[in-house]
Amino acid sequence: MAESLLQASRQRRVKAMTAAAGSAGRAAVPLLLCALLAPGGAYVLDDSDGLGREFDGVGAVSGGGATSRLLVNYPEPYRSQILDYLFKPNFGASLHILKVEIGGDGQTTDGTEPSHMHYELDENYFRGYEWWLMKEAKKRNPNITLMALPWSFPGWLGKGYNWPYVNLQLTAYYVVAWIVGAKHYHDLDIDYIGIWNERSFDINYIKVLRRMLNYQGLQQVKIIASDNLWEPISAFMLLDSELLEVIDVIGAHYPGTHTVKDARMTKKKLWSSEDFSTLNNDVGAGCWGRILNQNYINGYMTSTIAWNLVASYYGGLPYGRSGLMTAQEPWSGHYVVESPIWVSAHTTQFTQPGWYYLKTVGHLEKGGSYVALTDGLGNLTVIIETMSHRHSRCIRPFLPYFNVSNQFATFVLKGSFSKIPELQVWYTRLGTSSERVLFKQLDSLWLLDSNGSVTLELWEDELWTLTTLTRGSKGRYPLPPPPQPFPRTYEDDFNVDYPFFSEAPNFADQTGVFEYFMNPEDPGEHRFTLRQVLNQRPVTWAADASSTISVIGDYTWSNMTIKCDVYIETPVKGGVFIAGRVNKGGIWIRSARGVFFWIFANGTYRVTGDLAGWIIYTSGQVEVKAQEWYTLTLTIKARTASGTLNGKPLWANVRVNFPKNGWAAIGTHSFEFAQFDNFHVEADPVP
């Protein structure tokens, strides 16, 4: 019997070697024989001396800000397909954690996200799209961990200051109300709550937040702090026993795979609570693959969370295509399953939160790294990466040079793993199209006659998963429709009685919040409109503009006509605009250039070359007042622009040399109520 098992083992190993050679090229040829051909490093995988830290999962961020803005507008079946690639277990990225922004009305990188409390006595738990996204994630993976973190806060919490800690109890109430609303209105249990993204923390606020959570029966909600650097939060925790007790996880951003002594001394869980934010090509995938391993090896971080989940915001905004996949064309249905999805799968499909790292993890002799995890029930997963310096640089921090060379690596299974009979093999090779292999399953390795050892030949920019689990799969859908530019003719009358989302499709708010609105006193054509709803500046995270603005369209547009009905609500000081060729958004919105056509309630108009209003092309008097509807039309062609009011020419042939292209936009002079209706844009073909 033993002889027949050995013979079967040899046959399976030769078969595996041959299949691997055919499916993954050179990389897998020596899977079985390389130990006889050349010396290499030997790495023991052993649980005899106990286990390492508990693994908490791999995740991604939606928000910080408005990074999922266009996703909600995708038609079916493409929207569900995208969500499956992100969240469905054993299909794509199969994420363990979803972290969302608690919208605070402020600009938080690529747009604003609406607060559940625009004003002190206002509560609405259906604004925005993060509620929907969390429910979709839970629908696919009921065990997914949910995290939430504020970037900005509504202005009323600051009481005139750009600071959320003016009244600690009030800010804690605001955050706890969001958590309670998630459960009450959406049946969502939030697992972790943060303080203030990449900004100052207040020790007393953290303690107040913990007490208020407990008072509301939310003892199970854990606090993560401070979503910035390891210090000074770690040092404060060591000096303050109460603070040490109330913080469950220390979360650092872009730690470069390293931690600090104080953080380790707290004996708390250490997470890279925001990382990656790199272009999602193969270099970005290499960055992601390297840090998923080395954040634990170098820094004992048991969770790594990517910013961002899906690049679903307009091209031309900051940090374009910095998501695990790309979905920025709801009008066409086109999306791209980028390589970071499959790099994620190497870890996520073969581990779960609650598994444990082995103590025997580390770096390979000639560059690269390996980690091993177990569920404590006999299963083992080993992830090996050999990402080169050139092909794994993240956007931040600076990556010191290192070298990766071709090498043989022998992994020796000991302890409870010594009797494992078989390992499944999944393989990725990043690089040129001729060499590229993404998450391909190779033939399994049979270990009965190898004394529990596996030898691999490793080349640069590879990723291997060896696992006892047989459940992994590379999910596939038919190719989505081909990419198409934003429609050159686009209109929206906002006539939606019961909108599923609070924001109109494809409008991307960059300062302020624009929401569907119903005028109960207007039974006519302006009963349903789009309204700018903020009347004070938020507690900001970025440099929000002084004027509110929402952009739409194609960043490459040059010649266009924008037409919109506008309604100023604020007497005397109120004002609104329509614009074209808007060339900046996101965190750079304050310095946006373009062609802006303004009218004001004091009976004046103005045409400016920038959102701030410093570059004035022309201005004058006009019969305009508040609380009346007007139709503005802006035409930009080549180097001139013209404008009409209610169909009558108001100004013409104004020379505009810069910028050459940009989005269409609507907005208000200040943080004030105003309405927009019957929006229409028509752009010439882009050469």
Residue 404: both structure tokens together: 């990766």
SS3 assignment for 168-184: HHHHHHHHHHHHHHHHH
The secondary element (H helix, E strand) that includes residue 23 is helix 2-24
**679 DSSP assignment:** E
Q: Please say whether the beta carbons of 551 and 166 come within 8 A.
A: no
Q: Please say whether the beta carbons of 536 and 156 come within 8 A.
A: yes
Q: Measure the CA–CA gap between 161 and 539, rounded to whole angstroms.
A: 7
Closest listed residue to residue 289, CA positions, set 386, 403, 365 = 386
Measured from the Cβ of residue 685, the count of other Cβ atoms closer than 10 Å reads 9
Measured from the Cβ of residue 251, the count of other Cβ atoms closer than 10 Å reads 30
Q: Please say whether the beta carbons of 681 and 489 come within 8 A.
A: yes
Q: Measure the CA–CA gap between 575 and 427, rounded to whole angstroms.
A: 58
Residue 55: both structure tokens together: 């693994």
Measured from the Cβ of residue 293, the count of other Cβ atoms closer than 10 Å reads 25
Q: E strands along 512-592, which residues? A: 514-518, 528-532, 548-552, 560-568, 575-582
Q: Measure the CA–CA gap between 9 and 27, rounded to whole angstroms.
A: 22
Q: Measure the CA–CA gap between 86 and 340, rounded to whole angstroms.
A: 11
Could you report how far apart the first and last alpha carbons of the chain are, in Å? 74
**190 DSSP assignment:** -
Q: Measure the CA–CA gap between 570 and 502, rounded to whole angstroms.
A: 23
**Angle subtended by helix axes 130-140 and 168-186, to nearest 10:** 50
The secondary element (H helix, E strand) that includes residue 443 is strand 437-446
Number of helices (H) and strands (E), helices first, in the chain?
Answer: 12, 37
* Residue among 101, 130, 136, 274 flagged as catalytic: 274
> 351 CB contacts (<8 Å, ≥6 apart)?
55, 373, 381
> 654 CB contacts (<8 Å, ≥6 apart)?
607, 617, 618, 640, 641, 642
Q: Please say whether the beta carbons of 631 and 564 come within 8 A.
A: yes
> 441 CB contacts (<8 Å, ≥6 apart)?
424, 425, 426, 427, 472, 474
Which one-letter amino acid corresponds to residue 96?
Answer: H
Residue 551: both structure tokens together: 């952009």
Which one-letter amino acid corresponds to residue 412?
Answer: V
Residue 244: both structure tokens together: 């040490």
Phi, psi of 324 (to 5 degrees): -65, -30
**417 DSSP assignment:** G
Concerning whether 274 is annotated as a catalytic residue, the answer is yes
What is the maximal distance between C-alpha atoms in the chain? 100
Q: Please say whether the beta carbons of 391 and 428 come within 8 A.
A: no
* Residue among 123, 198, 365, 682 flagged as catalytic: 198
**590 DSSP assignment:** G
What is the pairing mode between strands 192-193 and 145-150?
Answer: parallel
Residue with tokens 């971080």: 301
Q: Which residues are part of the catalytic machinery?
A: 198, 274
